[in-house]
Chains A and B, each alone.
Chain A
Amino acid sequence: MASLVQLTRIGLRKDLQLEWRSKDALNAMLFFGGLVVVIFSFVFQPTGDEAREIAGGLIWVAFLFAAVVAMNQTWARELRNQVLDAYRVSPASPNALFLSKALGNFVFVALLELLMAPLFVIFFNLRAIGPAWQLIPVALLGTWALVVNGTFFSALSIRTRSREMMLPLILFPISLPAVIAMVEATTTILSGEGSGPSWPGALAAYDVMFTTICLMLFGTVLSAE
């Protein structure tokens, strides 16, 4: 019997390989994210200090929208040819399936952020006043916060009518505190001011809490009739 880690790795490898060959999700997500950045810079035309104040919010909104585009496709592949039904009857742990999907989405969204962040820097003339390296742990924690719930809710909405519309409707309200924390943490670093509470700490707590809940409930959702 393969272990959870092994199964997760196999699933993740399969998803990454498929994505590498088609690049469907990544292309759609990148183009969409790029459009959002361009629209934002048209609308706000920010400069200097003003850009630092609002960039944290804009970046994360752009990532959030783009991530939804990708996460909506998470389970589409498994629905064709009843692959999901095969998963249900297989003795493999449902959590391995969930983790591989969530990690796959994490890789896609992190890649998107890596490619889109320079775009933001160029369009908004950004230069961090605080320690810029801290943006990396904030981005990792924030991305996981979006992706873990997004992957789960995407599975939740498989059976609903107009399922692509459903994901943002349930993901955005639940993610609001995480989004606030990401934006605050980013703005603190960019503008180099503000002490306040530990926003990365709050994000980490959010991640732990919701990862636990996702793992506890995913089996139930997967086997729902």
Chain B
Amino acid sequence: MKNKFTIFATLTFALMAYGLYQALAVAPTERTMGDVQRIFYIHVPSAWIGGLCLAVNFLASLVYLLQRNQPLGRKADALAVASAEVGVICATVVLVTGPIWAHKAWGVWWAWDLRLTTTLVLWLIYLAYLMLRRFSPAGNAPLLAAVLAVFSFADVPFVWFAIRFREYRGNHPKPVFGSEPGQGLHPAMLKAFLINLLSFTLFGILLVAVRYTLERARQELQERRLRIALDPEIRAAQEVTR
């Protein structure tokens, strides 16, 4: 287990380093935007992992709600925490790298654009989710959080609709892949992008796996403490030693 983890982590970091090299040194400089365009190789993969994590969080929360008293439920809860935290971190990366790029490309840090605003609102919603977890007593946190996750997910289409139809001037770049001939990405850019997409996906899985393992360990510790507290024999033994 530990060996597999080391191999996976090493491969991921090697691929990330290679991806970074491709993005910073190999891929050609964009004609109009210049070097700041290279932020795209981090920005888009982060957004992808962030979105994926929030979807995983929702599914894990559903499984928890259905299998609450089974061992599977506790695993699902650990996955829900892990994916929510990683998702919020990725969304933070997106929200930080985006304005850095926008400041150079648009001349402003922020625009109330559909994608930007939706990302911001989702980020707020999942921060609230993490806050709720933090403020709930340990035994209640999984259930309360899973319930809130259902609300959060149901909110996504409404957020999208509300922002979409508010006549914001959207100027976030549209996806440039596979559009009309003559457009789209330079092959070297595409290569750098795909490598980064893959390496970030692996990195996201790695982070979620680490956090998941940690959460499982915490759950087990909690269960053990509970068992000791409830076991009359152990308690009697403790009384004697005291």
Question: B-contacting residues of A (Cβ < 8 Å)?
Answer: 149, 156-157, 159-162, 166, 169-170, 172-174, 176-178, 180-181, 184, 196-197, 202, 205-206, 209-210, 213, 217, 220-221, 224-225
A149/B151 in contact, CB under 8 A: yes
A34–B17 alpha-carbon span in the complex (Å): 58
B132/A213 in contact, CB under 8 A: no
Of residues 139 through 188 on chain B, the ones whose CB sits less than 8 Å from some CB of chain A are: 139-140, 143-144, 147-148, 150-152, 154-155, 158-159, 161-163, 165-167
A-B contact sample (5 more), CB < 8 A, given A160-B140, A202-B162: A159-B136, A160-B144, A161-B135, A169-B131, A173-B124
B155/A166 in contact, CB under 8 A: no
A83–B155 alpha-carbon span in the complex (Å): 32
Which residue of chain B has the shortest Cβ distance to A180 in the bound complex? Answer: B162
A96–B54 alpha-carbon span in the complex (Å): 32
A177/B155 in contact, CB under 8 A: yes
For the complex, is B55 an interface residue (Cβ under 8 Å from A)?
Answer: no
B150/A217 in contact, CB under 8 A: yes
Partner of A210, one of B137, B144, B154: B154
Partner of B155, one of A157, A159, A162, A174: A174
A221/B132 in contact, CB under 8 A: no
Question: A-contacting residues of B (Cβ < 8 Å)?
Answer: 65, 121, 124-125, 127-129, 131-132, 135-137, 139-140, 143-144, 147-148, 150-152, 154-155, 158-159, 161-163, 165-167
Q: Give every chain B residue within 8 A of A178 (Cβ-Cβ).
A: 158, 162
A206 in contact with B140 given A156-B147, A156-B148, A166-B132 (CB within 8 Å): no
A184/B166 in contact, CB under 8 A: yes
Partner of B143, one of A162, A206, A224: A224
Partner of A177, one of B140, B147, B159: B159
Partner of A160, one of B136, B158, B163, B167: B136
A180–B162 alpha-carbon span in the complex (Å): 6
A172–B165 alpha-carbon span in the complex (Å): 20
Q: Give every chain A residue within 8 A of B147 (Cβ-Cβ).
A: 156, 217, 220-221
A160–B166 alpha-carbon span in the complex (Å): 36
B132/A170 in contact, CB under 8 A: yes
A221 in contact with B143 given A166-B135, A173-B125, A210-B151 (CB within 8 Å): yes
A213–B146 alpha-carbon span in the complex (Å): 13
B162/A176 in contact, CB under 8 A: yes
A176/B131 in contact, CB under 8 A: no
Q: Give every chain A residue within 8 A of B128 (Cβ-Cβ).
A: 169-170, 172-174
A-B contact pairs, 27 of them (CB 8 A): A149-B151, A157-B132, A159-B137, A159-B144, A160-B135, A160-B140, A160-B144, A166-B132, A173-B124, A173-B125, A173-B128, A176-B121, A176-B124, A176-B159, A177-B121, A180-B162, A180-B166, A196-B165, A202-B162, A205-B158, A209-B154, A209-B158, A210-B154, A213-B150, A213-B151, A217-B150, A220-B143
A213–B162 alpha-carbon span in the complex (Å): 20
Q: Give every chain B residue within 8 A of A173 (Cβ-Cβ).
A: 121, 124-125, 127-128
A196/B158 in contact, CB under 8 A: no
Q: Give every chain B residue within 8 A of A149 (Cβ-Cβ).
A: 151
B161/A177 in contact, CB under 8 A: yes
Q: Give every chain B residue within 8 A of A157 (Cβ-Cβ).
A: 132, 135
B135/A206 in contact, CB under 8 A: no
